[in-house]
Amino acid sequence: MCGIAGFATPHKFTQFQNDLEKAVSALSHRGPDADGVWSDATFGIGLGHRRLAVIDLSPAGKQPMSSDDQMAQIAYNGEVYNFQTLRTTLAQKGRRFRTDTDTEVIVNAYRQWGVSCFERFNGMFAIALWDREKKQLLLARDRLGIKPLYYYFDGQTLLFASELKALMKFSAFRRDIDEDALPLFLHYQYIPAPKSIFKNTYKLPPGCYAQFDGRQLEIKRYWDFPAITPSTRINRTDDALEQLDNLLTRCVADRLISDAPLGALLSGGIDSSMVVALMQKVSATPVQTFSIGFREPEYNEAPWAAKVASHLGARHTELYADPEDALNLIPKLPEIYDEPFADSSAIPTLLVSQLARSKVTVALSGDGGDEQFCGYVRYHSTAAMADVFNKVPILLRQHLARLLSRLPSQWIANCYSPWRRFLPQRYQVANFTDKWEKMIRILDKNRLQDIYRMTINLWSDPELHTLINRRRPASAYENCFEQSETWPTLARLMYTDQRTYLPDALLTKVDRASMSVALEVRVPLLDHRIVEFTAKLPEHLKYQNGTGKYLLQKLLARYLPRQLFERPKMGFGVPLDRWLRHELKELLTDYLSYDRLQRQGVFNPSEVERKIKAHLTGQANEQYRLWALLMWEMWHEKWMN
């Protein structure tokens, strides 16, 4: 695991070369073991790398690295787990190797197979590769977006890096805020790809590669999620169970390849317990596991994690976090998440990463299970409500619309029944995108307009499409729902999360938290073979009788007593609502003070003041909205002043 940065430009090569060294230095946390820079003035190209040594710990593994024929140069972040098999194949074809690294396998695989090599890699990766023969720079990202890759393109100069803080070291980079991105952040707590907080700066989409020949930048897709069709389904429970057991075991075993100490992050939930159970199944020694606990019982899974570890025979380490631990971490969040990010579970993720890094360099996690096996309650409720409304005859819906139109608009707006959010546009059709986005937003359109002083670009807000008569770009959610229009309801919801929330929120959270302390986190449940397998499972093998993860729980029961995991789902969260009223109150009122917001001119200080008062007095729970505003203000102070 590492960090990469680089440039391709026809201008001021020496300046870019100097900036590249600064960019690489800004990524030292991702790779504390070595650094390297390679450049070629003839072509105006530069690649930089910070190394976290995991496979082949010798200096021979230093990057950037060349192919055996010196015609390609690579800087790479990640792990390709099938590199040994690929190496054997390449050696048979005459390719020569000087190291035992997967890096050398990747660059030689490109020389052998061209861009089709990306389809052969099983792993997590962000790759920058210079093809000297074609005079072409290639950027590639793994199928699920486990590893990050940002790029900046102004029409001539291309910059890229693992994190924005590295891009900001280039003098050519402009920190101009994209005004469409801020409302997206306030809606979702993160900025959905391909956008970033800055103009001309983007996230390379998962499963894609970019080609740049010095003039034109093209984005191409090499992998996509498999389509859901009845003909591809695995319907027999016993068959599905055996296939899942064998496949998951292989995926976990693949991720145990490491020349550095290795362990697992164990929350005590179904997904991480499944991963640790299979690790222990294939390991000859006890697995090292790590978990974080909280004093508040409603947030504390640590006792369950300890019981799971004990039953499996793992060597378990746990740490109970106090508010002081959070207070010490919060000022560091804008530095670690150098783009506005407001998922408060970043705090326990940072804490457990620090704990694990004190003993290991690599850790496996259970991320990705909810999005594939129907683990979120919102999937079940959304599907049930949408199905009910869609079964109501259109004439009856129109009659309902007329009745509702006679009610005071304020009464409807203040109706917090969970059914209201699924009432369709004009109460006639269940617009899937609208209803799903209303559920997942922390600030809907009306609340955003109340709090946000700046002009909202109508093109950036999916809910305003009925107010304008011109065509606007579709949102990521609309694209996902459109592409999966013929799929079963639950499959559409999970697919949408896999394409949006998973890479842009969950995997971003884990990557930044873990790499801030140079911990490599591997996610076996997001092996593309698992994703392609779960796409073949019918809904009844994922969700039955009000409970998700049916097949995964059935498999876990082979390794653990059900009483250790059959309990209500707990999110990996913190008692943020209470902390904001007490331990974090001073921080909140300082950053969101009336005078400060008035000077900045982005938010309505009176509305923010009202929300703070309502939360502090217990009249309302505004924790997520206030946390998003707080994270924005802290980010802005760190990076824009």
Angle between helices 270-282 and 302-312 (to 10 degrees): 20
Give the tokens for residue 111. Answer: 């020389």
Q: Could you give the maximum distance between any two Cα atoms of the chain, in Å?
A: 78
Of residues 406, 442, 401, 445, the one with CA closest to residue 425: 401
CA distance readout (Å), 337 to 8, 177, 355, 635: 26, 16, 19, 8
What secondary structure letter does DSSP report for 427? T
- Residue that the structure tokens 């209303």 belong to: 438
Class of residue 357 by CB neighbours under 10 A (exposed 0-12, middle 13-18, buried 19+)? buried
Query: Residue 418 corresponds to which amino acid?
Result: P
CA distance readout (Å), 328 to 129, 325, 584: 39, 5, 11
Strands 150-153 and 158-161 come out as antiparallel
Give the DSSP letter string of 506-534.
Answer: IHHHHHHHHHTTT-EEE-GGG-HHHHHHH
- Residue that the structure tokens 């039955």 belong to: 544
| Cis peptide bond upstream of 462, omega within 30 | no
Query: Residue 513 corresponds to which amino acid?
Result: A
Q: Where are the beta strands (DSSP E) in 132-246?
A: 136-141, 150-153, 158-161, 201-203, 208-212, 217-221
Q: Which helix (H) or strand (E) holds 498?
A: helix 489-499
Rounded distance between C-alpha atoms, residue 254 and residue 267, angstroms: 22
Rounded distance between C-alpha atoms, residue 41 and residue 19, angstroms: 14
Is residue 2 flagged as an active site residue? Answer: yes
Rounded distance between C-alpha atoms, residue 369 and residue 552, angstroms: 9
Helix (H, G, I), strand (E, B) or coil at 114: helix
Structure-derived torsion over alpha carbons of residues 178, 182, 184, 190, reported in degrees to the nearest 10: 100
Give the tokens for residue 226. Answer: 């498999």
Structure-derived torsion over alpha carbons of residues 499, 501, 507, 508, reported in degrees to the nearest 10: 110
Cβ contact 218:208 at 8 Å: no
Catalytic positions are: 2
